[in-house]
Amino acid sequence: MWRATLVVAGQWALIHDRWQLADVLLTDYDNWGGRRSDTLMREWAFARMNMVNWDGAEEALLKVPQPSAQTVLLIGLCQYYRHDPTAEQTLRRVPDALQVETQIRDYLLGRLAQKRGDIDRAYAFYWHAASIQPRFLPAVYHGARLRMLAGDDVAARQIVDGYARQFPGTAHPDVVMLRSYITARRVPPDKEYEIVSF
């Protein structure tokens, strides 16, 4: 009965963006021997990600006895933000599948390739991430930025204008910033987006 109370209260806290409370309640639920289902551990990890506790989020995800592909993706996400060298290996294990946010996988693989200096491969990953989820601004931002690094401001402008045409109500500050940098023919800053996902 107590475990059921903890898990219901934890889910209420998640719905109301009470990350710290959700973490406390789901920690207690786990300490009381609660079931470590894939979905529940992802919810617990989600609360911790929102508190920028990547170590704690990964710890929750690693408790899942048989992790789904989405859970493996989230483990790789946590490893990426923890600068764990195993992140790329984990992300490469994530298959193309329904119910899996593969745009995040490809974006993070692009970031890792970019950090290694493999710009062409990084761009290909960003392009693929944006083709999976056109609203995924991190991939659009870095794709345009890499075109600017290559001196191709025309291609960079096409990427940003294409995004703005698809989503005309979007006046995201990063889109405005990209346009100003492209107009000035300057390379936008390298930006590390913090992605939180369930």
54-85: pLDDT as tens digits: 999 999 999 999 999 999 999 999 999 999 99
> Which tokens go with 88?
């790329």
Fold type of domain 1-100: 1.25.40
Q: State the pTM of this model.
A: 0.92
Q: Which residue ranges of the chain lie beneath pLDDT 50?
A: none
**Which of helix, strand or coil describes residue 110?**
helix
CA gap 134, 25 in Å, rounded: 36
Do residues 77 and 108 make contact, with C-beta atoms less than 8 angstroms apart?
A: yes
Q: Cα torsion for 170, 100, 15, 130, to the nearest 10°? A: -10
Return the CATH class of domain 101-193: mainly alpha
The span from the first CA to the last CA of the chain, in angstroms, equals 26
Sign of the CA dihedral with 32 first, then 38, 40, and 44 last: positive
